[in-house]
Structure 1
Amino acid sequence: MDILIAETKEQSNDALAVRYKVFVEEQNVPEEEEIDQYEEDAIHFVAYDGGTPAGAGRIRIQDQTVKVERICVLNAYRGKKVGQAIMKKIEETSKERGFNQFLLNAQTHAVPFYKRIGYQVTSGEFMDAGIPHVQMKKRI
């Protein structure tokens, strides 16, 4: 599995296609909420399995904190540590750029995944796009 920072239009489109499949088609998130005004400012990541997009995510820098967003893995690749590989690449890339604080809003079903990689819940439950979430943070 290769995790790349999307540097070409094709890679960016691959990231968006994975996100569309997971969030819009599977989870019924409205497209206008999934694709937002931050797309151009974000750094996008794509997981490839031999050239086939398998997962995606993005980050935005807010002050000295990395806001991790839109982490998703296609159904066929779930349980194969793709999400973990994306998060590792995000954290490594961020650390190389001088950032060590991370913030994300996790769907509640994904909390155990994020806890396993060192994130801690820092809020009560709230709704986002009709899906229950909690805020989580990590410092490396």
Structure 2
Amino acid sequence: MRIGRAEDDAARQACFDIRRAVFIEEQRIPEGEEWDAHDATCIHYLAEDATGPVGTARLIAKGQRAKIGRVAVMPSHRGTGLGAQIMQAVMDDAKAHGFARAELEAQVYAIAFYERLGFVAEGPDFDDGSGIMHRVMRAEL
């Protein structure tokens, strides 16, 4: 398994293809909610194995905070620990680049997953516009 920054157009497109499959097609998030201006400026991460691209995440720099989002794993690789590996790679990269804290907006069903990675839920649940309830979570890096 290789997890790293998506450095070229082909790697970024692979990230977008995974997000389309997981969020738009599988979770039925409206296309207009999935894509935003941050996609052009954030850091995208791609997980690949011998079969090809299998997972992704992105990081938006907000001062000393790294906002992690769009974490997605293809159905064929769920339950393998890949989601945790992606998150650890993103958090390690963020720390290496001077970020002091990570934050994210977790889908409520995934809160326990992020808690195992050291994140703490804060505030009330909210609908981010996709129709799926979320909660803000933070972790020190």
Q: TM-score scaled by structure 2?
A: 0.96
CA distance in 1, matches of 2:9, 2:137: 31
Matches within 5 A, 1:57-72: 57-72=57-72
2:19 is aligned to: 19
Please identify runs of 4+ aligned residues in structure 1 that moved more than 4 A: none
Matches within 5 A, 1:49-128: 49-50=49-50, 52-128=52-128
Deviations 1:3-51 (A, max 9, x none): 0200011100000000010000011111111111111111000110125
1:9 is aligned to: 9
| 1:134 is the counterpart of 2:131 | no
> SS of the counterpart of 1:89?
helix
What's the % identity of the aligned pairs?
A: 34
Q: State the shift of 1:64 in Å.
A: 1.1
CA distance in 1, matches of 2:42, 2:28: 23
Unaligned runs of 5+ in 2: none
Q: TM-score scaled by structure 1?
A: 0.97
CA distance in 2, matches of 1:51, 1:41: 28
Indicate the RMSD between aligned Cα atoms, in angstroms: 0.8
Unaligned runs of 5+ in 1: none
